[in-house]
Structure 1
Amino acid sequence: MFIDTKLENFKIRFAQENDVELVYEFIRELAEYEKMLEEMVATPELLRESLFERKVAEVIIGEYENKPVAFALFFHNFSTFLGKPGIYLEDLYVKPEMRGKGIGEIMLSFLGKLALERKCGRLEWCCLDWNEPSIKFYKQMGAIPMDEWTTYRVHEEKLEGLANKFDE
């Protein structure tokens, strides 16, 4: 089911299981853009399991003239201070040749509308410090940087080590 937008010939839809390869290709393009392709270990099989079997995240796809040109992957988190869920935007990507047409704004505003419909208290995401075009775009959309917060990550063998401490 397509959702019409204010941009002529641009529609949004929720990804279906047969979109796994498309989502994978969008993620590869994003990883390449972010100069992180060597860190990408996702496979179509892992995405299928996470998105459509376990349903831990959702994807919307933006199509211009019936061609996929953008995607956003997101999931729900929770704010104890607000007592409400939120939407965390993991990835938003618009193909380079389609930038400047308002597609990113439409995708982000759709997620804002979805957050309100789902009674969420906020929509949030991270952005690489060097990505000035995205930072400028996000600020124009009303987003504020959370400079007083630092993201921490435990992964790979450090995650295993942390988990093993439980049984020690």
Structure 2
Amino acid sequence: MSLTFRRAQPEDMGLLLSLIKELARYEHLEREVTATEEILSEWLFAKKKAEVIFPMLENEAIGYVLYFYNFSTFLGKAGIYVEDLFIRPEFRHKGHGKALLRHIARKAEAEGLGRVEWACLDWNEPSIAFYLSLGAVSMQGWSAYRLTGQKLTAFAQTRDE
């Protein structure tokens, strides 16, 4: 069985949502998932804000990668930000995650992009070891920040000073 890659289609939103929930369970973040098939379809296909690729064995999706384009002012080029990279547990340690990330790296190279980047939970030692084995480097000295939910709404509604 050889691994192939397939772009998500609107009819794949049930599959994608189930994989997102699997990832959330693995990351102990199930309570964070508020996405629905309709929301995913709107943002992925109507608004075209991100893209999804499924790694396929035969006719089975064994995971997914969801990514979008960002921009580096220092490089003066766009890049790819990988929001999710997930391989189902029973398919791990077979090179599929590496092949999926390589697929994204080749896309970045083919498009002349400046970089591929992603975040990883600090406790996820197996993933950290995997990323380091690929030659990725941790962004030491940088911390991620996020506004979401009520705090995002409250900040957006404050008056300019």
TM-score range, shorter chain: over 0.9
Alignment of 1:78-157 (within 5 A): 78-157=71-150
Distance 1:22 1:11 in 2: 17
Distance 1:33 1:101 in 2: 19
Give the counterpart letter for 1:22 in structure 2: L
Distance 1:32 1:63 in 2: 22
Q: TM-score, normalised by structure 2?
A: 0.97
Q: TM-score, normalised by structure 1?
A: 0.93
Gaps of 5+ in 1: 1-7
Distance 1:166 1:68 in 2: 47
Give the counterpart letter for 1:62 in structure 2: P
Higher mean Cα deviation, 14-23 or 122-131?
14-23
Which of the residues 2, 7, 14 maps onto 1:9? 2
Shift in Å, 1:44: 0.7
Identity %: 47
User: Does residue 153 of structure 2 align to residue 160 of structure 1?
Assistant: yes
Gaps of 5+ in 2: none
Query: How many residues of Structure 1 are paired with residues of Structure 2 in the alignment?
Result: 161
Distance 1:166 1:75 in 2: 31
Aligned-CA RMSD value: 1.1
Give the counterpart letter for 1:39 in structure 2: E
Distance 1:45 1:162 in 2: 27
